[in-house]
Amino acid sequence: MRALPASVLAVCGLIASACGGTGSGGAAAGQAAPATTAAQASPSSATAKQAPPEAKPLDGKVIVIDPGHNGANYRHPAEINRKVNVLTQWKACDTTGTSTNSGYSEAAFTWDVSQRMTKILERRGAEVKLTRTSNDGVGPCITQRAAIGNKAKADAAISVHADGAAPSGHGFHVIMPKKINGPVDKVVGASSKLGISVRDAFRKGTGLPYSTYIGRNALDYRSDLGGLNLSTVPKIFVECGNMRNAGEAAKFQDPKFRQKIALALANGLQHYLEA
């Protein structure tokens, strides 16, 4: 910054506020501060004139993020393989998930993306709850994952995954529930709207194509997933791509691309909640 001439400094010493000083009145540098009246100086008057804090777009919204699988599941086969009732069938409590050919696990990927998404959504005012607190534990079971969203009375819930399909397949897809004469029936319509919002934002934000091997226009409806069947709040699964496809595996291992994924998912959730 250029130094002021001595004559100007002398004036500033006499009238600090006229030269944008750093006193509590706080005019911007180089701008004259307005004269302070006795009324403006009183605490009650200052409080009355304070602008209310700026509202955030997701204030008051509760979002549950379910990072698929868990990093230590493979060490506890008996625990994760025990059968639980998902209403349309009995399924394993949880699974290990898939991985890239180089060994980057789906559990690590979903945990990282979910952590990034949490920060974005919280900055936008949302209250965010996760179904697991680390990537070195076991489970929880798919039934418990649904229950966490239900207990939180989430405005929206999303389960983050990545697929392990044939290497030739690529692209992402979103999984939504079907009616099963069960608790999910009342939120099937809302879940479909959530799924479409997330699909559109994911495509725009990541540039990844619709899945070439499953679903139609990246949308897939299923009745065999406990995390959906048992949900009483709008909920979807997103398969962010195919970890067995070399191109997508490379993207998923790039932290910058995982940030893109997290931002796209957060945008999709916000679009749904603001609709």
CB–CB of 124/266 below 8 Å? yes
Q: Which two tokens stand for residue 228?
A: 């959906």
Catalytic residue among 122, 239, 248, 274: 239
- Total residues found in the chain within this entry: 275
172-205 b/e (C-beta count within 10 Å ≥ 16 → b): bbbbbbbebebebeebbeebbbbbbbbbbbbbeb
Collapsed DSSP state (helix, strand, coil) of residue 9? helix
CB–CB of 257/108 below 8 Å? no
Residue 239 is among the residues annotated as catalytic for this protein: yes
CB–CB of 95/186 below 8 Å? no
Cα 143 off chain centre by = 21
CB–CB of 143/226 below 8 Å? yes
Q: Environment class of residue 133 by beta-carbon count within 10 Å: exposed (0-12), middle (13-18) or buried (19+)?
A: exposed
What are the residue numbers of the active site? 239
